[in-house]
Structure 1
Amino acid sequence: MTIRSRREVVTFNHPFRIRGIDRQLPAGAYEVVTDEEMIESLSFAAFRRVATMIKVPVEGSRGLAMEVVSIGPADLSDAQRIDAGQSDG
């Protein structure tokens, strides 16, 4: 089984919440890692997502220590959509 990891940085302009994390996170840039496995039985290369994780500061660490938390891709999209809809005023 072939697994690949995709990394991206997502930026939140406002403090946000995401399902699976029991606290509000500060605005900023966050690394998101998506693991995908190759679907072997096809005649072309195709992958399916098996895990999505986000690196967040450990609670009370002032951003010095980080932890990786598994989240749902739809929950990440929801948090990004809510953030984009908030006004900066």
Structure 2
Amino acid sequence: MNSRSTRSTVTFAHPFRIAGYDDELPAGDYEVVVDEDLMEGLSFEAYRRTASYLLIGGRAGGRGPAEMRPVDPRDLEAALARDQASPEAS
């Protein structure tokens, strides 16, 4: 099966939490990695999301330890909405 990964960046202006994890993460830019598989047998090209990850840690230039945390896209969107809604969001 053909698959692909796409990367994007999300920015949090305030410390935040993601559902399913106990720790609070600092404000900043975070990379989101989405894995998708090609849906075969269709008359057009379409992909189905199989996993989403939030990259935690690491330093500029890809140096230092990093963790890829599985994250539900709805939980990530909710955390971003809370961050944008209040200057004291967490």
TM-based fold match above 0.5:
yes
Question: Aligned pair 1:31/2:37, yes or no?
Answer: no
> Runs of 5+ in structure 2 lacking a partner?
59-63
The equivalences for 1:46-61 within 5 A come to 46-57=46-57
In the TM superposition, residue 65 of structure 1 has moved relative to its aligned partner by 2.2
- Give percent identity, aligned residues only: 46
Counterpart CA distance in 1 for 2:65 and 2:81 is 27
The equivalences for 1:1-89 within 5 A come to 1-57=1-57, 64-87=64-87
Calculate the aligned-residue CA RMSD, in Å.
1.5
TM-score (norm 1): 0.87
Paired positions, count: 83
TM-score (norm 2): 0.86
Over 3 Å off, 4+ runs: none
